[in-house]
A = this chain, B = another copy of it.
Amino acid sequence: MPRTRSALPSPAGPVRLTPGARTALRPAAVTVDGGFWHDRRAANARVSLPQGPDLLESAGNLHNLRLAAGTAEGTFQGAYPFVDTDVYKWLEAASWHLAGNTDEDTDEDTGESTDAALAADVARIVALVAAAQQPDGYLNTWFQLVKGGERYQDLRWGHELYCAGHLIQAAVAHHRATGRPDLLDAARRFADHIDSVFGPPGSGRPIDGIDGHPEVETALVELYRETGERRYLDLAGYFVDRHGHGLLGGAAYCQDRVPVREATNVEGHAVRQLYLLAAAADLAAETGDTGLRTAAERLWLAMTTTKTHLTGGLGAHHDKEDFGDPYELPNERAYCETCAAIASVQWSWRMALLTGEARYSDLIERTLYNGFLAGVSLDGERWLYVNPLQVRDGHTDTGGDQSARRTRWFRCACCPPNVMRLLASLEHYLASSDEQGLQIHQFVTGTYTTDRVRVRAETDYPWHGTIAFTVEETPSDGPWTLSLRIPEWCREFRVRCGEETYDSALDHGWLRLARTWAPGDQVVLELALEPRLTAADPRVDAVRGCVAIERGPLVHCLEQVDHPGGGLDDIVLDPSRPLAVKHRPDLLGGVTTVVAAGRRRRVPDRGWWPYAPAHGVPAETDGEPVELTAIPYHVWANREDGSMRVWLPTS
């Protein structure tokens, strides 16, 4: 079943700004057809996405929709009022894949196009969603089936608008991908229904309220962008600004303790906070609201400065999936939910477009290659809900969703389809354009296209630091600027552009190459990928006296399996010895490892009490030297179970 592709450079992506939007940049179209991300997206397309319908079937999500549609009998399955969103996120993911895929994979057994099968699954499930929807547009199988249809009685925990938001996002994706109106019509009916129910006092709407889990806000902005209906944007703005006024009892968890415009740091449930702030950025972009923009900029800076793990992971606490306090960044209990990494990318991308600043894409790069990508196994079949930076020797795994071991599916299965949708839409977070030209935020093998120019890139990044760009299409009538983001971690780079070489003169993280280009012009960027030892701000108590190994955008870690003969908690790294790079095509699908020198310390017997006077106790002695093999963090937990460490003590 061949699909028509849009010939427009404006991509069918998740953030399609309106013509009047007050942003510095707009997304540019990218196709990713080789290299690192192509491989990971291929696993998503080949394994994760096609398995979705079966998993949603066996977990009961589709059954619930059939129950609501009256086409099946039985009882609601699942433990949460938001299980419908697993379906919506899968629909969104599949839609982005169908919109953006350039390969025509075929099933090994049947020889049929796997995309055709996927498209059929999408169509079938879209029809199921539409059938489950109530005549007035409302749809939530939990409330329809379990709560006797009692709507909006428990906004704090009910997730009804949250579910609506994911339905809307799926519908926008489906419409952009296929051009078909069916799911978008369903989403509009639900949005219209919400708009008739929710509004400020005096608006004539019966409920002045918000949802305990932000999500509908960003979705409504995108629905406005897709339909041109201004009232969806206004409704999003109303919801954003009603947070923090105690409508849900004032809990930080629900983003109800303080209004966004007054907040001084991110707080509460990490995913809730990040989705809300993505909407604030969207609103600022669409309306020019400088108050929201200022708040979003302030909160992003506070978050990165005080509440972000080295991997880009967000959310320190298991308890309440909460951000935690400033500089409270534990390793062993880092929560770093996969969904929070995804939400962070979504928010930061909106900030990057809003402001044009490179640092937002710096965080995106770090998050994509580390805190996000660790969430899915190399084979695309198993998942991590939480992404700790340490698993101890002697760890007792309690299983469940928050296990440090990869799981086939979760009781609360929010993360897997969220990973699928980000991987399937990844090309939309990579580049932007403005009147000056093209900005390349992330380096991939593929083609970057705006309405005026096309640039081809070839690279083996992040394993190697060379990215070769070739200008393929360019207007001949004047100059434009090719802007390359030089990553925050990069201490040395060189750009060859014809006869010229650049190695400095950055414009806030951007290298600007302004010239009149000709087709075939080449630009070669070389980023030095020397491995490095990284230390944290001294206020990050959890990693005092430790360093982490990084190389390029990759955080590395030690895994037990590479270090036989003892645990990892007694390993000490020697920071005076050089780090070596070893490319290992044999390992974990092909990775570059960093080799460091260390030793296993011998702790003197302290008897039964592990605390002793700081002065005068026998010091630990040097143990045997150990060669440390640091693999990229994003491939951990793909072999046998065991301990893992990102941060390593140096003495």
Contacts and interface: CB of A to CB of B under 8 A. Distances in A.
Interface in A500-539: 532-539
A122 interface: no
Given A252-B398, A325-B394, A544-B546, A535 B614 contact: yes
Interface in A296-336: 301, 304-306, 308, 310, 316-320, 322, 324-328, 330-333
A330 B327 contact: no
Interface in A536-569: 536-542, 544-548, 569
Interface string A278-305: 0000000000000000000000010011
A390 B533 CA distance: 28
B611 A535 contact: yes
Contact of A534 (B330, B533, B611): B611
Given A318-B319, A322-B398, A330 B542 contact: yes
Nearest to A539: B569
A388 to B, nearest CB: 11
A537 B611 CA distance: 6
A491 B617 CA distance: 12
A491 to B, nearest CB: 7
The complex is assembled from copies of this chain, and their number is 2
Interface string A123-142: 00000000000000000000
A537 B615 contact: no
Interface residues of A, number: 74
A316 B317 CA distance: 12
A154 interface: no
A545 to B, nearest CB: 4
A265 interface: yes
Contact of A535 (B322, B537, B540, B613): B613
Residue among A324, A393, A613 with max Cβ neighbours from chain B (10 Å) = A613
A603 B332 contact: no
Contacts of A306: 394, 610
A395 B316 CA distance: 13
A534 to B, nearest CB: 5
Q: Is the interface of A mostly helix, strand, loop or mixed?
A: loop
A136 B601 CA distance: 61
Interface in A246-288: 251-253, 257, 265, 267
Interface in A349-403: 359, 362, 390, 392-396, 398, 402
Contact of A265 (B301, B394, B398, B547): B394
A390 B327 CA distance: 12
A606 interface: yes
A574 interface: no
A610 B536 contact: yes
A574 to B, nearest CB: 12
Contacts of A620: 538
A394 B326 contact: yes
Contacts of A304: 608-610
A536 to B, nearest CB: 5
B333 A392 contact: no
A650 B651 CA distance: 15
Residue among A316, A327, A328 with max Cβ neighbours from chain B (10 Å) = A328
Contacts of A395: 325
Interface in A131-158: none
Contacts of A393: 325-326
A575 B614 contact: yes
A241 interface: no
Contacts of A610: 304-306, 308, 327, 536-537, 539-540
B541 A542 contact: yes
A538 to B, nearest CB: 6
Pairs A-B, 5 closest by C-beta atoms: A318-B319, A537-B610, A535-B614, A325-B392, A533-B614
Interface of A: 251-253, 257, 265, 267, 301, 304-306, 308, 310, 316-320, 322, 324-328, 330-333, 359, 362, 390, 392-396, 398, 402, 488, 491, 532-542, 544-548, 569-570, 575, 601, 603, 606, 608-615, 617, 620, 647, 649-650
